[in-house]
Amino acid sequence: MSENSQAHKAAAEPRDTTHAHLAGEVIGRHQHGYHQLLYVSAGVLAVQTGEASWVASSARAVWIPAGTWHQHRVHGHSSVHTLGFPAHDVLLRSGTPVVVAVDALVRELIIACSEPSLPQPEARRLRAVLRDRLRRALIEPLTLPTPGNPLLRQACALVTDDLRHPRTAAWLAQRIGVSERTLARLFRTEFGMTYPQWRTNVRVFHAMVLLAEGANVSETGRQCGWSTTSAFIDTFSRTMGQTPGTYRIGPGERGSSAAVSRRRGGIPAPAHVSSGPS
């Protein structure tokens, strides 16, 4: 059976959409025949390919190049905005998805441009401004690569299975039967980062998910392995550019025109696979 018969076929014409998604919802593997900018004004949405994962949130959008097979998973009740750009439009020079920093102006431009009722003349004017802003936007290295090496995959699983316990490089190396030097080389070769850098990214990634699902700041810090709430706040703030408390509230709940209903805490509902791509 061909890959296209197993997953959604690429849509040829760029589409702009705004959708509300429930916590735990999954949009199955698909691709587009155009570039897509994906932004979440409330909640968190993980973009996954076979090589890595990226996170779209209220402060970060994900640029997905045309032809990239990917799937989404929603964390927290989310409002998702997508903008399509023609495949020949080289707006961001990247052959893989990248995370783009979203400031207040870019946020409002994305939300406005994704409204289906927006008159075409106004949409073109807003798009022109958005394009200029995106060309100057900060591209951030917030990526969680998927390990290919079996030993590295085993090491990563030992960490992600329970983030509450700090796992040193020495402990990991001993568990998978290699030297610390070999473990360090695996992280550098496959991920392009050190083990501490990767672990910080993983912890922040999961903290974003927990906060979107309604967990409070202190509990999130404990669940993700920080010894104190202040240490969690410091690391999260340096990585994300805002405190976890601010991130948890989200701009949509601070009175934006794109406000959505408050996110509910607790255990997320079982995953639901959407009937179509976004």
Q: Is residue 266 part of a domain?
A: no
Which amino acid, one-letter code, is at 90? Answer: V
Phi, psi of 22 (to 5 degrees): -85, 155
pLDDT digits (tens, 9 = 90+) for 219-230: 999 999 999 999
In this structure, the answer to whether residues 128 and 21 fall within a common structural domain is yes
Q: Which of 26-30, 164-168, 263-267 has the lowest mean pLDDT?
A: 263-267
Does 190 lie in the same domain as 109? no
Query: Is 273 a member of any domain?
Result: no
Same domain, residue pair 181 and 133: no
Q: Which residue has the higher pLDDT, 179 or 7?
A: 179
One domain for residues 8 and 64: yes
Same domain, 90 and 184: no
Q: What is the CATH number of the domain that holds 204?
A: 1.10.10.60
pLDDT reported for residue 94: 81
| Residue 92 pLDDT exceeds 60 | yes
Out of 143, 178, 194, a domain closes at 143
12 and 116 inside one domain: yes
| pLDDT (0 to 100) of residue 246 | 85
Q: At 250, is the pLDDT very low, low, confident or very high (cuts 50, 70, 90)?
A: low
Mean pLDDT of 190-209: 92
State the DSSP string of 171-207.
HHHHHHT--HHHHHHHHHHHHSS-HHHHHHHHHHHHH
Q: Is the pLDDT of residue 267 over 50?
A: no
Q: What pLDDT score does 24 carry?
A: 84
User: Of 113, 143, 173, at which residue does a domain stop?
Assistant: 143
pLDDT for position 55:
86
154/80 same-domain check: no
Q: Which domain holds residue 78?
A: 3-143
Look at 127-131, 192-196, 211-215, 252-256 and tell me which has the smallest mean pLDDT.
252-256
Q: Are 40 and 79 in contact (CB under 8 A)?
A: yes
Which of 181-185, 202-206, 264-268 ranks highest by mean pLDDT?
181-185
Q: How many domains does the chain have?
A: 2
Which band of pLDDT confidence, cut at 50, 70 and 90, is reported for residue 263? very low
Share of the chain above pLDDT 90, in %: 51
At 127 the pLDDT is 93
Residue 275 pLDDT: 37
Q: Is residue 261 part of a domain?
A: no
CATH number at residue 84: 2.60.120.810
Strand partners, 145: 52
Same domain, 40 and 8: yes
**Residue 122, H or E segment:** helix 120-135
What's the whole-number mean pLDDT along residues 172-184?
96
Of 59, 62, 47, 21, whose CA–CA distance to 246 is shortest? 59
Cα–Cα distance, 140 to 180 (Å, whole number): 29
Helix (H) or strand (E) holding 31: strand 25-32
Give domain status of residue 262, yes or no: no
